[in-house]
A and B are shown apart, each in its own frame.
Chain A
Amino acid sequence: GNSVTQMEGPVTLSEEAFLTINCTYTATGYPSLFWYVQYPGEGLQLLLKATKADDKGSNKGFEATYRKETTSFHLEKGSVQVSDSAVYFCASFDYKLSFGAGTTVTVRA
């Protein structure tokens, strides 16, 4: 089955810094890939997705590119804000949706 490994946290950054969260997947086929975000006390929200190789998902200044050759889907944002403080989950869907362990990001003013 499919599985996801993402960068351990926590990650602490200053406002306007560059953010990268690494995510790699294993799957027998070509899964759909997702990044979800969880703000404190809330459920998960879909941040972005990509359904095939070389697709780039983007939303709210975040981007991730589906790299089949490296089985990766790293999340990036060029200039973070305090409001980006949250837990970020990478996920893949093959025949079921599997999540990584989550990366806690804290952005300081």
Chain B
Amino acid sequence: EPEVTQTPSHQVTQMGQEVILRCVPISNHLYFYWYRQILGQKVEFLVSFYNNEISEKSEIFDDQFSVERPDGSNFTLKIRSTKLEDSAMYFCASMRGYTGELFFGEGSRLTVL
């Protein structure tokens, strides 16, 4: 069964370091998302990506964040200079059509020290 894969599963980094989280969405999907979940809190939307550009972003997604789909298969989230409050589980998700079912990856746990 097709699935969304994310790497790494867990990353520990020092405050101020750059982090790249990688996702491989399901191959025929067109809509891509990053969500995050701070420990003990609800899942929050970060950004959506369609047709090779950002279609929507939340107030959390500031200039420290960027997304890319560099090669038609990977979908990456970059955090330029991590802060303690960026510690969270980051989920990638993809969807074939605008009204379709959403498929999530297993998540990448980011710990910023």
The answer to whether A and B come from one shared complex is no
Binding site for B on A (CB under 8 A): none
Binding site for A on B (CB under 8 A): none
